Amino acid sequence: MDLINTPHKRKNILTGDWVLVSPNRTRRPWQGTKDKSEEINRISFDPSCYLCPGNKRAGGEKNPNYDGVYVFKNDFSALLENPYQSHKDGLFEAESESGVCKVICYSPNHGLTLPLMELDAIKEVIRLWQKEYTLLGNNQDINHVQIFENKGAVMGCSNPHPHGQIWAQRSIPQEVEKKTIKQKNHWNQNGSSLLGDYLKQEVQSGDRIILENETFVALVPYWAVWPFETMIIPKNHRVSIAELSAQEVRDYAEILKNLTIRYDNLFETSFPYSAGIHQSPTNGEVNKFWHMHMSFYPPLLRSAEVKKFMVGYEMFANPQRDITAEKAAERLKKCSDTHYSKN
C-alpha cells in the first residue's frame, strides 16, 4: 500500500479513532487566512502582567516575589469543590462536576518559554508536576489530574507569561476513558504495555522518531492529526509522572527542551501549541496497564502565518491531514538543536 502519495486512513491505537491522510493535497495553493506570527517575547518583567512576581492578579491576590517555578489556585477556576448532584428530566441529563484548577508559572521571567529555559529550571517544572499529581491525586474526590499548557495567542492563551495549568476533577474525561479501555485490553491479551509495544516498533522503524535519549523518545505518532503533532514517551513502563526516577526527570527535561527548540526553529517563530500529559487516573485502582505520555498539538501548517483548521469534513466526519507523519518527522528532525534566536 502506498502511504506516501495515496489517500488513506490511519488508526489511533490508543483511542480507536481514525484520521484521513491526503498527501496529494500538499500541492494545493493557499489563498486563505494568514495570521500574524508569534514573536519571541524579550521582556523579562511586565508591571501589568497578572503572573509576574510581586504583581496583583486579576482576582485581587498579590503574587509573592517568587524566584523559580510557582503554583497557585486559579482565580477563575473552571471547576469548584462542590458536592455531587445529578439531574434527569426525560432526555435531559446532567451531573455536577467538581475539582481543583491550578496555574503553574514556569519562571519569574516574563519572556522565558520552555525552549529558552535552562535544563535545571525545566527539571523543577517536572518535579512540580510530580508533586501536584501526587498531592491532588491523593484526594479521594479527585479521579483525574490533567496537566497541560496552551502556548500562544492563537491557542487561546489569555496571558503571555509562560505558564501551564492543572485541572483535577472527580470524573474521568472521555479521551482518558478511551485510552484506558484500549490499554487495559492490550494488557489483558498480551501481558504488556500497549504504548511500550508500539514504541518498540517505532524505534525499529525509525521513520517517525525525532529525538531519543537514554530513557525517552520524541516522535510523530503514526496516527497524528495535527500537522506537526508529536508525542514524548518514556522507554520504561511508567504509569504516571510520579514514577519517574531522577535520571528520567533529567532526560524528560532534556527532550522537552530540545523538542520545543525544534518547534520554534521550524518556522523561526515562538511556536504555538496545546500540550498535555496523559497518565493513570487517580481513582484508587491499580492501573498497571497505563503508560504515561505527553502530546503536543500545534496548529501551524505551512508557515508561521498559516494554521490548520478543524472544520467542514473534520467536524462532521473524521479528522484529516495533508502532510504525512513521516514527512513531518523528517522536517522536525532536520531542525537545529540551537534556538534560532541564539544565531
pLDDT of 73-102, one tens digit each? 999 999 999 889 999 999 999 999 999 999
Residue 332 backbone phi and psi in degrees, to 5: -70, -35
pLDDT above 50 (res 285)? yes
Domain presence at residue 162: yes
Domain presence at residue 57: yes
| Number of domains the chain contains | 1
Catalytic residue among 110, 144, 163, 186: 163
Domain presence at residue 3: no
Domain presence at residue 18: yes
**Alpha carbons 129 and 15: distance in angstroms, whole number:** 25
Active site residue 110: no
| pLDDT score of 318 | 93
Q: Domain range spanning residue 207? A: 8-342
Domain presence at residue 296: yes
Residue 125 backbone phi and psi in degrees, to 5: -65, -45
Amino acid of residue 92: F
| pLDDT score of 55 | 97
pLDDT above 70 (res 243)? yes
Domain presence at residue 275: yes
Report the CATH number at residue 297. 3.30.428.10
Domain presence at residue 166: yes
Average pLDDT, the chain: 93
Sorted by sequence, the CB contacts under 8 Å of residue 303 that are 6+ apart come out as 34, 37, 267
Say what percent of the chain tops pLDDT 90. Answer: 83
Domain presence at residue 192: yes
| pLDDT score of 30 | 44
pLDDT per residue as tens digits for the range 140-179: 999 999 999 999 877 667 788 999 999 999 999 999 999 9
**Alpha carbons 326 and 34: distance in angstroms, whole number:** 25
For residue 273, which of 234, 324, 227, 342 has the smallest C-alpha distance?
Answer: 227
| pLDDT score of 38 | 61
